Structures are given as C-alpha cells and as structure tokens.
Amino acid sequence: MKNLINSDHNLIDYSGSLITSGFIDTHVHYPQTQMIGAYGEHLLEWLNNYTFPTEVKFKDKEHARDVANMKMSLNSVFRWMILFLLLILLTNEVKSQNQIWFTPNLASVDMLDLFNQPEQWDSARSKIDVFKFYTVQVGTGGWGCVGHPAYNCGDNHLDNFVNVQAFSKLGQWGIDIAAESFFAGPIMSYDPIECSTSEYIFNLTLDGSINVIQNVQSNGGIVRYLAMDEPIRQWYSEFYYIYTGQTDPRPCLVDSLGSLADHVAAYIQQMKIWYPSVSIGHIELYPEVGADQLKEWVIALEARGVSLSFLHVDVHGPRVDHYISLGINIDVAADLAELKSFLNAHDIEFGVIFFDTYYDSQYWEPDEYNDSTYYAGTMNWVNFVHDANLKPDHSIFQSWVFPYYTTGIGPNEIPINLPEDDPAIYSHTRLINEAVSILVGVDTEPSSDPPMNGVLHQNYPNPFNPKTNIEFQLNKVSNIDLSLYNLLGEKVMTIFKGKKMLDFIVLALE
C-alpha cells in the first residue's frame, strides 16, 4: 500500500491505535419524544413495547398536530436534568445497605390479595426491594404447578398472576422481580425421577430459567434476579447423603465439587450471554454445607471465570439445635460473619433467609405449627442475626413450608400474608415490618458521620417521562424540607415542606 502513495503525500502511521469518530451525532427522533425515558428493557422488547406503538400513533393527524404544538422550555428541560443528577448523587450517598426480599409461601392462600388489596400492606410493601417467585408458580408447560401436584400452588400460578397484573404492579411499586429454582430447572420432587446425567441437569436448568424469564417479561415484568436453590446439597453426593440418609444415589449426582462447578459455571456463562442484566446467585443450606465449603465453592466458580452476584444462606435455630444434639459443634455467628467478610471481599452480596419450621430429625411437625409459632420462630432468628451484628446485604423473608406438611395438598395458610396492621393476626407482612425495624438499625460501630433521620431512595421510574416518584423514609417524626437545586446552588422548586410522620413516603413529581 505504501508503494502506491505519491511521494508528495504525507504518510502518518496509526498502527497499534484505535481510530474512532471525532463527532457524536446527538439527536432526537421527533415521533419518539413522548416515550423518551420509557422503562429500560432489552432493545427488541423496548422497540416493540414502547417505540413502535408510540410512532404508529402519528398516522392520526390530530395526534400529530397535538404533539407538534407541545412546548417545553429550556428551563424545564434543565430542571429535569438537575433533578435526575441530584437524585443520583443523593441516593448514592444514603442508599441502604440492607436489601429486603419477600417470598410468600408457595401455596399461600392469600398471595393474590397482595396485588388485589395493596392497601393492606402499604408499609411492608414500601420496605421491600425484591419480590421472589418460585419457578413452578410462574412456569408453564412442564414447569408449572399443574404438572406437579405434590407441590400444588393453590391459586398461585401464572394465569392468575397475569389476571391480577402482578408483574406490572411490582414494577409500578419499584419492586424488582426474582425467580428461584433448583439447579435442575423447577421444583420437581425429591424422588430420583426426571434425572439421568449431570448434563441433563444443566440443559434442564437453562430451559426452566428461559421459560420463567419469558413468561414474566411477556406479561409486563422483568426478572432481575435468578436464585439457584441448593446446587451443592442437591447434586453433590457427599452432602446429599448427609441430608437425606439415602444410600442409593440418584444417577445425576456428581462425585466432586469441581465437576458440579463445571456445570454451574457453564449455566451462568450461558445465561449471562442471553440475559446480561440478570443477576445470578445461589441459595445453600447451612450447616449442611459449611462456611469453609461455601468459600471453596466460590473459589471453584471464580477459577472457571464466573462469579455469583449473591449467596443466600438457608438456616434457622431449630435445625442448628438438631445438629448440635448430634454432637456437631457449630458456631453460627462466627461462621456467618466469616462467610460475609469473605463474600464481600469477592464482591458477592451476602444474604440471610428468615423463616421458621419445627424440625425433628428429617420431619416437620404440622400439629404444632401455626401462624403464631411461625412468627415467633422467625423473630427469634431475626433477633439472633441482630444481636450477632451480622448485617446481611440481603434479608430474605421467605416461607417454603410445603402444603402437605401443614394443611394438606392445596392452599397453605402458614403464614397468612395479610393484613399487616392487625395485632391479632401473625401475618407475613406484619412480620416484615417488625423485623426490618430491628435489622435496618443494626450498627454497633461508632461513626464520625452526622446522624441521619431519614433515607432518600432511588426515584422510579428512572429515566422518566413525564413524571417520577421520589421515596424517602423517616426514622422519627420530623419537619422536613425537600427541595430541588440547580448546579449553581439556586433553588428551583420546593417538592415538600412540612411535618411527616415516621414511615415510608412516596411523592409524585410531574
């Protein structure tokens, strides 16, 4: 090529460099102005759900004329830009470190009422960051509850969630959606069926995850989190024997942690290719799988090029007592504190599942089980975590007591979810309110920062058009002044000024 250039031309060698455009074409598509700031999705879903429907409206001349006559002053645009930046800055400064997850019982008798009667759990709902469904609840075909009567969901299946607009309402409330599954797709059975090889497990898990994500997204929601349930305890023969006492392993059990890590890493890598915005984590039983084994597991995954987004430990007092009675020495507080420190050092968020069951050897005791005992047992575990100053990154309030252990196959009333404010009813939402008031305030270390009487949360939707919601939480009755300032320190507007009671407040700003 050099020989073809005339000698009177200068030749500049840019080898080893990256050549990019020096001009960025900032522009706006006029027919899309009304959907700028629409809720973010993957490109094709964003185009199909927001862009194309907005543009096709312009075939109506009256609509086109109305949009053409709209005016937005530069001052208004500047105001919204400053608000957006201000909320990002403030939220980053005061963001809560404890994310609250909620998973009602699989067959909860009043789960649909959470969406039909949201006023009955306003306070608890405002505290919740993530709502987690079981795979069988939102799966279809072989993944749904209908195909697995032993795990009957009652009325809590996809068709009914769609009818009550559960997924879209969670988005409107600013609550993210998570899905939980065994590392074999859905909850199927503890019996050695539907199981042949570890490769089969891998493919089954991918199919189940895709099924759930597509079902939620096609019905107004977005799955933000996937939680693999007990891949070590379920599929690693060493821990399966410890838990079940079975001597005849299922044919799909793996014989080494490394072999299992190969399959889990492959699953995570493939899912991140298809759904890069979904955070993938892991639930594991403790003390069946100890802190040292969990650390070994994290290192094994990282050696294969993947990392968990979160790890939730499934543990509670009665089961720990059972193991101690067998002569197994367990220091729960020390183990979990060490595990949390290790996980955080590896940029993995540490979570604790709060629940209760009565445990006797391998079995639950339904005759002694009711809402009151569930509430008391769970609060005992909450207080233990508080007193141990564990400070979990995620607090997960989840009931997985199977219906046939309590009320028989079908709807399960333990625990009931609503209402949150009746002292005579030991509901799941009432439990969340009490537990969060204990857990969020855990901080025994002295701080040089000025005391904070409230928290400003991320606005939603964000980006937004034409309005957004601003949430803040007060720790005591306070006189507040919530105002918007521009970058010059000039007040643009007062959003709210006056006295607010202790609680969670949501203000809509247009």
23: number of CA atoms within 13 Å, CB side? 2
Q: Has residue 191 been placed in a domain? A: yes
Residues whose CB is less than 8 angstroms from the CB of residue 118 and which lie 6 or more positions away in sequence, other chains included: 125, 169, 173
Return the CATH number at 399: 3.20.20.70
Q: Which amino acid is at 37?
A: G
* Token pair of 73 as six digits: 């002053």
Q: Are 181 and 193 in contact (CB under 8 A)?
A: no
Q: Tell me how long the chain is.
A: 510
Q: Does the pLDDT at position 234 exceed 80?
A: no
Q: Has residue 27 been placed in a domain? A: no
Q: Does the pLDDT at position 483 exceed 70?
A: yes
Query: 110 and 221 in one domain?
Result: yes
Distance from C-alpha of 50 to C-alpha of 38, rounded to nearest angstrom: 7
Q: Has residue 373 been placed in a domain? A: yes
Query: 465 and 411 in one domain?
Result: no
pLDDT at res. 185? 34
- Each residue's pLDDT tens digit, 8-66: 777 777 777 777 766 667 677 878 776 766 555 667 777 877 788 888 888 888 888 87
Distance from C-alpha of 201 to C-alpha of 253, rounded to nearest angstrom: 10
Spatial strand order of the sheet with 503-509 comes to 454-456, 468-474, 503-509
Distance from C-alpha of 18 to C-alpha of 434, rounded to nearest angstrom: 57
Q: Has residue 75 been placed in a domain? A: no
* Token pair of 110 as six digits: 């009043």
Query: 168 and 254 in one domain?
Result: yes
Query: 350 and 219 in one domain?
Result: yes
pLDDT at res. 139? 85
Q: Are 154 and 108 in contact (CB under 8 A)?
A: yes
Query: 467 and 391 in one domain?
Result: no
Cα angle 94, 497, 93 (rounded to 5 degrees) comes to 10
Query: 423 and 323 in one domain?
Result: yes
Q: Does the pLDDT at position 491 exceed 60?
A: yes
Please state, rounded to an integer, the average pLDDT across all residues of the chain.
75
Query: 236 and 158 in one domain?
Result: yes
Q: To which residue do tokens 């086109």 refer?
A: 64
* Token pair of 240 as six digits: 């399966």
pTM over the 0.95 mark: no
- Each residue's pLDDT tens digit, 262-317: 888 988 998 999 898 899 998 988 887 889 989 999 999 999 999 999 999 988 66
Query: 463 and 339 in one domain?
Result: no
Give the residue numbers spanning the domain of 469.
454-509
Domain boundary among 413, 439, 465: 439
How many domains is the chain partitioned into structurally? 2
Helix (H, G, I), strand (E, B) or coil at 481: strand
- Report cis status (omega within 30 of 0) of the bond before 186: no
**E-only strand ranges, 365-462:** 394-398, 454-456
Query: 312 and 391 in one domain?
Result: yes
Neighbours of 277 (CB within 10 A): 11
Q: Has residue 108 been placed in a domain? A: yes
Query: 471 and 409 in one domain?
Result: no
Domain boundary among 439, 462, 495: 439
Residue among 163, 145, 131, 22 at smallest CA distance from 409:
145
Proportion of the chain above pLDDT 90, given as a percent: 28
* Token pair of 134 as six digits: 């079981």
* Token pair of 449 as six digits: 């920062």
Q: To which residue do tokens 């915005």 refer?
A: 277
Domain boundary among 377, 408, 439: 439
Query: 322 and 400 in one domain?
Result: yes
Q: Does the pLDDT at position 485 exceed 80?
A: no
Q: Has residue 14 been placed in a domain? A: no
pLDDT at res. 505? 56
Q: Does the pLDDT at position 98 exceed 60?
A: yes
Q: Are strands 468-474 and 454-456 parallel, antiparallel or unpaired?
A: antiparallel
Q: Which residue has the higher pLDDT, 438 or 494?
A: 438
Neighbours of 353 (CB within 10 A): 24
pLDDT at res. 97? 59
Alpha-helix runs per DSSP H in 95-223: 113-116, 122-127, 135-138, 158-163, 166-172, 198-217
Query: 397 and 500 in one domain?
Result: no
